[in-house]
A = this chain, B = another copy of it.
């Protein structure tokens, strides 16, 4: 098998060029959730296909009902070499409120923030920076040895930030082409800026949007106030009813399928030394808002939530308007754990809302994406190899952790393609993904590339 050190040297030598390539990709405004950026999403897909071709991948842009996929294949050193499927997404979150960004979200730069060199811009961490660590590792392998260490298939989607509506049909239609020995997913984080991590638990997600309709027009609150239903009041009551005083979600059946985390896992998490003060202190808070009596790591890694992601109704402009709105709406999402069933929870939520609706009002539901929670083995050979490779690169033992966010693709790879995933990424909690001023550490981008080279090497050997 080929040597590793020329690959790592190629990465180091070519690092400035790899930054330039990432910047080109970051400049493309591929916001998938907003139809105004549809063409930009395709541009990002085309950019990636072209880049993969330049490394020798048989790659192309593949149309879907929504934003396109990018698929690329590269042969391994022999037909029986291991075959991995690498997944990432080229779409990014919206950037509002734009006024809170210190730099243009789509004009990336390297700058020093609190003594750390970082790449700024929307997508720098989630997920363009992350996916390019893998692409650059492949490029370096090719440069050093003219070949890949194993057979590699790449799948990049453009709808991860908007619920992946096209992913299921695409996986089903192309199952034979995409099936590999296992998947690698680079949409996760490190434990901290020095400590690499492999993620084996992921919360699931259900997204819902509800709109409460009351009167058939906006009303003057003087003329009708006290008599006419106010949809903001109805909505506030429904949302307020969703948690009890201990922070538990009150929707009937919500906790079906939720398991208590085994004591030894809780203990290993406790040993990580994370406190509520430390976890929340970084964002200006101090008091956990979830179920009382549980650690913050347990709350974000192993407990389900009901969150309100947006609310809107009535007069929201400057000044005051004594109006009773005709409607009010909220975006609600649930993070799921263990065996919670997304569609059962969606149905239970809808019944919960309908039970609280005055008979002369109506509710409109809009379905957003969903995916179950994932629990992967803590000790598969794949995890063991990757742990060792990551520990070599970072000089510290890699941690096996869980993650609060959802990566629905991991469930799809299990259920539709029968493969487990290795979840490795180099994001950090302070990367401000989904927020203004997203960044990705230069060390994540550089050592991330080197980490993938080491992981590919470990897999091939």
Within 8 A of B (CB), among A290-344: 290-291, 296, 299-300, 303-305, 307-325, 328, 330-331, 333, 335
The 0/1 profile, CB within 8 Å of B marked 1, for residues 272-306 of chain A is 00001001100111111111000010011001110
A39 to chain B, nearest CB (A): 16
Interface presence of A222 (CB below 8 A): yes
> Are A227 and B314 neighbours in the complex by a CB distance under 8 Å?
no
Interface presence of A385 (CB below 8 A): no
> Are B289 and A321 neighbours in the complex by a CB distance under 8 Å?
no
> Are B404 and A300 neighbours in the complex by a CB distance under 8 Å?
no
Nearest B residue to A285 via CB reads B360
Within 8 A of B (CB), among A409-455: 429, 432-437
**Distance A432 CA – B207 CA, assembled complex (angstroms):** 36
> Are A94 and B279 neighbours in the complex by a CB distance under 8 Å?
no
Number of copies of this chain that the complex holds: 2
> Are B434 and A289 neighbours in the complex by a CB distance under 8 Å?
no
Chain B residues, Cβ within 8 Å of A30: none
Please pick, from B161, B220, B434, the residue contacting A405 in the complex, using a CB distance under 8 A. Answer: B220
Interface presence of A250 (CB below 8 A): no
Known A233-B243, A429-B223; contact A217-B318, beta-carbon cutoff 8 A = no
Please pick, from B161, B305, B322, the residue contacting A434 in the complex, using a CB distance under 8 A. Answer: B322
Chain B residues, Cβ within 8 Å of A236: 235-237, 239-240, 308, 311
Chain B residues, Cβ within 8 Å of A60: none
> Are B239 and A241 neighbours in the complex by a CB distance under 8 Å?
no
Chain B residues, Cβ within 8 Å of A314: 308-311, 331
> Are A322 and B309 neighbours in the complex by a CB distance under 8 Å?
yes
**Distance A70 CA – B299 CA, assembled complex (angstroms):** 61
Nearest B residue to A229 via CB reads B289
Chain B residues, Cβ within 8 Å of A299: 226-227
Interface presence of A252 (CB below 8 A): no
Interface presence of A205 (CB below 8 A): yes
> Are A317 and B226 neighbours in the complex by a CB distance under 8 Å?
no
Within 8 A of B (CB), among A43-97: 93-94, 96
Known A232-B330, A233-B243, A316-B310; contact A216-B163, beta-carbon cutoff 8 A = no
> Are A218 and B322 neighbours in the complex by a CB distance under 8 Å?
no
A345 to chain B, nearest CB (A): 15
> Are A33 and B310 neighbours in the complex by a CB distance under 8 Å?
no
Nearest B residue to A308 via CB reads B232
26 A-B pairs whose Cβ atoms sit less than 8 Å apart in the complex: A33-B317, A33-B318, A33-B319, A34-B317, A94-B317, A96-B317, A205-B322, A207-B322, A215-B283, A217-B432, A219-B283, A222-B404, A226-B305, A227-B289, A228-B285, A232-B310, A232-B330, A233-B243, A236-B239, A287-B358, A307-B324, A310-B314, A310-B315, A311-B312, A315-B331, A322-B434
Other A-B pairs, 12, CB within 8 Å; known A203-B222, A309-B314, A310-B321:
A33-B317, A216-B283, A223-B300, A226-B290, A227-B279, A232-B308, A232-B310, A308-B313, A310-B316, A319-B368, A322-B406, A322-B434
Q: Which 8 A-B pairs have the closest CB atoms?
A: A222-B405, A33-B319, A240-B240, A216-B284, A310-B314, A236-B239, A232-B308, A226-B290
